[in-house]
Amino acid sequence: MQGSLNSGLFNETIGTWKIRLMDAQTFTLITTVVVAHFLALISPGPDFLLIVRSALRHKRNHAVGVAAGIAVANAVYIVLCMLGVGSLIARSLWLMVGLKVAGACFLMYVAIHAFRAKRSDYDFIGGMSAENRTQSSFFKEFGLGLLSGLSNPKNIIFYISLFAVILTPTVGTGLKIGLGVWMVALIFVWDSMIVFLLGQNRIRSFFGKAAFYIDKAAGAVLGLLGVKLLQSAVKDGA
């Protein structure tokens, strides 16, 4: 009787420690994913430059479309990685080359558009008449954000690495979905904050005189990134 009681207590203790160990592992996993994703999110890249450019040139309710488009693009890649398609894309040389070429063309298109813009296109930023405001819409900016997010090879590579190293098949589907929703929501909130911050009158007035040059500089950087990406695609395909 005493032996059975001791055995039961031992098994209960082991079970408790297993639960605690699983909780600690889950906490570590969640923390690692959250930190890695946030660091990747705040690092400047083509998506960030596109958000700044859109926020300075268009109304806030239009520019926030870029943030929504980028968030949806990331959601697409997260779902693909959950289904195991992401690793297939990474292993396909021609798919990666095609993705890089598409990304390069998109970045150079945005760069050319930035260089073709006239100084009068930025007059509204300093508080001048809205008649000079560049024409756009939420859905147009959403399309640009979606294309930017989908054509950026760094996005798919980041999520492939995340799911290969951290979010392995041993991790529960529910936790993966929860983290995926968290990452997409954080992307949209963070990018929208940038849009609304640059949409403040004081900040827009500050950037009013420099917006023309900021857009040109952003266009130059995006163009260089596009050329570099195209060179990488040619090198991979050779």
Q: Phi-psi region for residue 128, left (φ > 0), alpha (ψ -120 to 50) or beta?
A: beta
In terms of Cβ atoms closer than 10 Å to its own Cβ (0-12, 13-18, 19+), residue 33 is: buried
pLDDT of residue 145: 93
Structure confidence by residue, pLDDT tens digits, 81-99: 888 776 676 667 777 777 7
Please give the average per-residue pLDDT across 48-66, as a whole number.
86
Please say whether the dihedral angle defined by the alpha carbons of residues 38, 82, 86 and 80, taken in this order, is positive or negative: negative
| Residues 6+ positions from 83 with CB-CB distance below 8 Å | none
Torsions phi, psi of 130, nearest 5? -75, -5
pLDDT of residue 135: 67
* pTM for the model: 0.70
Highest mean pLDDT among 20-29, 56-65, 137-146: 137-146
- Dig out the tokens for 49 from the structure: 């430059």
Chain Cα centroid distance, residue 119: 30
Chain Cα centroid distance, residue 158: 10
Please say whether the dihedral angle defined by the alpha carbons of residues 186, 187, 190 and 193, taken in this order, is positive or negative: negative
- Dig out the tokens for 131 from the structure: 């008649």
Chain Cα centroid distance, residue 147: 12
In terms of Cβ atoms closer than 10 Å to its own Cβ (0-12, 13-18, 19+), residue 18 is: exposed
Highest mean pLDDT among 100-104, 151-155, 187-191, 211-215: 187-191
- What CA–CA distance (Å, rounded) separates 21 from 174? 19
| Banded model confidence at residue 156, pLDDT cuts 50, 70, 90 | confident
